[in-house]
Amino acid sequence: MILIGRLLLGGFFINSGFKHFSNLTMMAGYSQSKGIPSPKAAVVFSGLLLLIGGLSILLGVYPTVGTIALVLFLVPVTFMMHAFWKVKDPMARMGETVNFTKNLALLGAALMLLGVPQPWAVSLF
């Protein structure tokens, strides 16, 4: 079960990381609309954190380092990009609320992974 969870969670973050790069212009525009400085660089950096963290969980390669990378991504992104309390439009607010709570759940999963003894079963390192 833990391996299936790692596949799903790691795969989610890997997919998100790839989307940062495949939709770089759109993501940078969205970041700029949220007031993020150097939005293109921020999207590239956050995409790298997602890929590193996702691959780390999926493969079990330095899982603490990868999980910390995800925490470093999730904390600022959750509060800076998905500040639903600042959104006036009800539909947009609902979307940001969903993303905010999703990120909190993912942050909780990442924090739990930091407590899992290592090495993980079926890990490369």
Q: Tokens for 17?
A: 């990381």
Cis peptide before 119 (omega within 30 of 0): yes
Decide: 53 and 66 in contact? Cβ < 8 Å: yes
pTM: 0.92
Q: Tens digits of per-residue pLDDT, 97-119?
A: 999 999 999 999 999 999 988 88
Q: Is the pLDDT of residue 125 over 60?
A: no
pLDDT band at 124 (very low <50, low <70, confident <90, very high): low
pLDDT of residue 3: 85
Q: Tens digits of per-residue pLDDT, 20-72?
A: 999 999 999 999 999 999 999 999 999 999 999 999 999 999 999 999 999 99
C-alpha to C-alpha distance for 102 and 82, rounded to whole angstroms: 10
Closest C-alpha to 103, from 68, 124, 79: 79
Q: Tens digits of per-residue pLDDT, 65-92?
A: 999 999 999 999 999 999 999 999 999 9
